[in-house]
Amino acid sequence: MSMLVLPFVGFAGSAVAILAGRRGIALGLWLASLVGTLALFAAHATSTLQLDF
């Protein structure tokens, strides 16, 4: 499984928790997914592209 899938799984889990009425779990999953998304963005935005034309 790709690392990029994990935040989306977390956001989906957060939506399920909202529908189940579990607000605390939903907020925790949403925040964890947000942090994961930002960490993955930082890792990808700071890496250099090895282009050879």
Q: Is residue 49 part of a domain?
A: no
Q: pLDDT digit string (tens) for 4-38?
A: 898 899 999 999 999 999 999 999 999 999 999 99
Q: Give every CB contact of residue 23 below 8 A, 6+ residues apart in sequence.
A: 17
Residue with tokens 């250099």: 48
Q: Residue 16 sits in which domain range?
A: 5-44
Tokens at 37, concatenated:
């998304």
Q: Is residue 52 part of a domain?
A: no
Q: Is residue 31 part of a domain?
A: yes
**Residue 4 CB burial class (10 angstroms; 0-12, 13-18, ≥19):** exposed
Band (pLDDT 50/70/90 cuts) for residue 52 is confident
Q: Is residue 24 part of a domain?
A: yes
Q: How far apart are CA 23 and CA 19, in angstroms?
A: 9
Q: Is residue 50 part of a domain?
A: no
